[in-house]
Amino acid sequence: MSAIRLSEKVYWVGAVDAGVRDFHGYKTPYGTTYNSYLILDEKITLIDFVKEGFTSEHIRNIEEIVPLERLDVLVANHIEPDHSGSLPAVAARAKNAVLLASPNGKKGLEAYYGLTCPIRTVKSGESYATGAYTLMFTHIPMVHWPDSMVTYLAEEGLLFSNDAFGQHIASDKRFVDELGIPFVMDRAKDYYANIVLPFGAQVEKALAALGGLKLSMIAPSHGQIWRSDIPGILEKYARWSGNATDPDLAVIIYDTMWGSTAMMADALRAELEAQGKTVRTYSLKSSHISEVMAGLLEAKHICVGSPTLNRGMMPNVAAFLTYMKGLAPKNRVGMAFGSYGWSGESVSQVESVLRECGFELLPMRRQLYRSQTT
Ligand code: FEO
């Protein structure tokens, strides 16, 4: 994939990872990109880097426009290896460039890579002139790591937002509207549910800090660039960060041994639908936990079922609950259910995790095989 011109002086020079299917536990059926951007001003600036393994593609794309030795400014918005892997190779050749990062970014880059080149730290709100253009930095800690920041190119209204507003999509198209807003918005939702959800309070602070900016493009570090639906993605982030839920949306997530817990899930679905709710049911035998997270992002009611296996819950259910608890959805109503043949510990164990998640609880439902309810 070659460099792509985004505006008169700005180019995309990142890398496309069409083959990745597991992003630290999150399934990525559409692959991803590691976006990096080049700004041709008096001082030539490179924004962000790519995952190790894609360094050659990154350097090839930069050098379609300019030799690495001519880079004057390197901006590391985020140190996670998907956005910093090519940095040591680029910095080794861009010997005259100043490397800019947040204070936590500096610490992390030195720890990860043992970089010996000087790193200049930038404060939140600080500006840096590159000639006709001005870069402005805003720290957005925990969106997604403590070091994270965004860079705003004031003269173009272009926000290099790093992980924020990203989506895991591999494509030779660069803009959201070229792939269709509904498809990209769904991928942005997957991404939010599996990556950003625990940091709602920090997202709200970031949205407030960026609120006054004129935005003509939001260029994240994964996936497509927003230009025609900026209000739409900002509205979604405001909604998701506030854990806004649909009171009429319920999800049922379960595993089953011999079908009894599946029968309970079916009965529960019918009951909820009779109450007028929309119900999404996920069997953990066939649905990956990251798909389930996207499905429950806006659901008020979360029902989790497991039979008892060896005095505990099914391993698939335990894995899902661990994952969901870490992603910390809030303001939910939970219910545990499950069938058992002997002792039935699983249901109270599921309920215990739902309580730890801070959910309001409805009475648990336990059923001996297919007939008796306790
Ligand atoms: Fe895409 Fe937090 O890295």
pLDDT of res. 342: 85
pLDDT of res. 118: 87
Contact 222 CB / ligand 1 (< 6 Å)? yes
pLDDT of res. 209: 87
Q: Which atom of ligand 1 is the closest one to the Cα of 145?
A: 2
Note the pLDDT tens digit of each residue in 280-317.
999 999 999 999 999 999 999 999 999 999 999 999 99
Q: Is the pLDDT reported for residue 141 higher than 70? A: yes
HEC-encoded secondary structure of the chain: CCCEECCCCEEECCEEECCCCEECCEECCCCEEECCEEEECCCEEEECCCCCCCHHHHHHHHHCCCCHHHCCEEECCCCCHHHHCCHHHHHHHCCCCEEEECHHHHHHHHHHHCCCCCEEECCCCCEEECCCCEEEEEECCCCCCCCCEEEEEHHHCEEEEECCCCCCCCCCCCEHHHHCHHHHHHHHHHHHHHHHHHHHHHHHHHHHHHCCCCCCEEEECCCCEECCCHHHHHHHHHHHHCCCCEEEEEEEEECCCCCHHHHHHHHHHHHHHHCCCEEEEEECCCCCHHHHHHHHCCEEEEEEECCEECCEECHHHHHHHHHHHHHCCCCCEEEEEEEECCCCHHHHHHHHHHHHCCCEECCCEEEECCCEEC
Note the pLDDT tens digit of each residue in 313-367.
999 999 999 999 999 999 999 999 999 888 899 999 999 999 999 999 999 999 9
Residue 114 — very low, low, confident or very high, per pLDDT cuts 50/70/90?
confident
Contact 168 CB / ligand 1 (< 6 Å)? no
Q: Whose CA is nearest to atom 1 of ligand 1?
A: 163
pLDDT of res. 373: 45
pLDDT of res. 374: 42
Percent of the chain with pLDDT over 90: 92
pLDDT of res. 372: 45
Note the pLDDT tens digit of each residue in 312-323.
999 999 999 999
24 counts as catalytic: yes
pLDDT of res. 228: 86
Contact 147 CB / ligand 1 (< 6 Å)? no
- Ligand 1 centroid distance, CA of 162 (Å): 8
pLDDT of res. 144: 87
User: In the predicted model, what is the mean pLDDT of the chain?
Assistant: 95
Contact 236 CB / ligand 1 (< 6 Å)? no
| Choice among 78, 83, 168, 301 that is catalytic | 78
pLDDT of res. 10: 98
Q: Is the pLDDT reported for residue 78 higher than 90? A: yes
- Ligand 1 centroid distance, CA of 83 (Å): 7
Q: Whose CA is nearest to atom 3 of ligand 1?
A: 80
pLDDT of res. 341: 86
Note the pLDDT tens digit of each residue in 26-71.
999 999 999 999 999 999 999 999 999 999 999 999 999 999 999 9
82 counts as catalytic: yes
Between 117 and 229, whose confidence is greater? 229
Contact 48 CB / ligand 1 (< 6 Å)? no
Contact 82 CB / ligand 1 (< 6 Å)? yes
Q: Is the pLDDT reported for residue 25 higher than 90? A: no
